Amino acid sequence: MRGQIILSHGSDSSPDATKVSALAALAESLGWRTQRPDYRSDDARGHAGSVAPRIARLRATVEALDTPPLLIGSSMGAFVSGLVSLDVPVSGLLLLATPSEIPGYARPFDVRPEVPTMLIHGWRDAVCPLAGLQAFAAQRRLPLLVVDDDHRLGSSMDAIVAQCRLMLEQLAVAA
């Protein structure tokens, strides 16, 4: 096995969501182990109310591993993955449709600067406006792939899978 990946779904979604399922299948086909925490009970608390329990759940999942995992997250899953990377060691971050803030949640979004990070976002994302994430990426000089898609990124799966494959290859070489 190459390593561990934890895939975090967005709000109003599930561990069987399209993006996390496709990326888990890719990773497993390349010899990686995957986990997909189920945040649906946390999401019942609303957006701001779900952040802390999601962070606790993801952090506990990471801390139970022997080696730092790659965190892949979509929307709220991306937001909490970034915040968890500040507190526990991770090998990388692949963040999709990331909100730059959660209204009502005080802690600002951030990532650990030395962690390899790739952001993918849609030009037409009406849920998480691109401008906030663009400013975040520019300030930290993080790679940001902007695709002609909406928040769900459903038309961009080929590009997302390609970026995930590239990140997995880079992490395998670094290991």
- pLDDT tens-digit profile of 98-127? 999 999 999 999 999 999 999 999 999 999
What pLDDT does residue 1 have? 61
What pLDDT does residue 22 have? 97
Q: Which two tokens stand for residue 114?
A: 């030395």
Q: Does domain 4-174 have CATH number 3.40.50.1820?
A: yes
Segments making up each domain of the chain, as ranges: 4-174
Cβ 89 vs Cβ 65: under 8 Å: no
Task: Flag residues of the chain having pLDDT under 70.
Answer: 1
What pLDDT does residue 173 have? 86
Spatial CB neighbours of 149, under 8 Å, sequence gap ≥ 6: 122, 123, 124, 125, 155, 156
What pLDDT does residue 81 have? 98
| Single-letter amino acid code for the residue at 119 | L
Q: Taking the alpha carbons of 160, 161, 166, 169 in that order, is the dihedral positive or negative?
A: positive
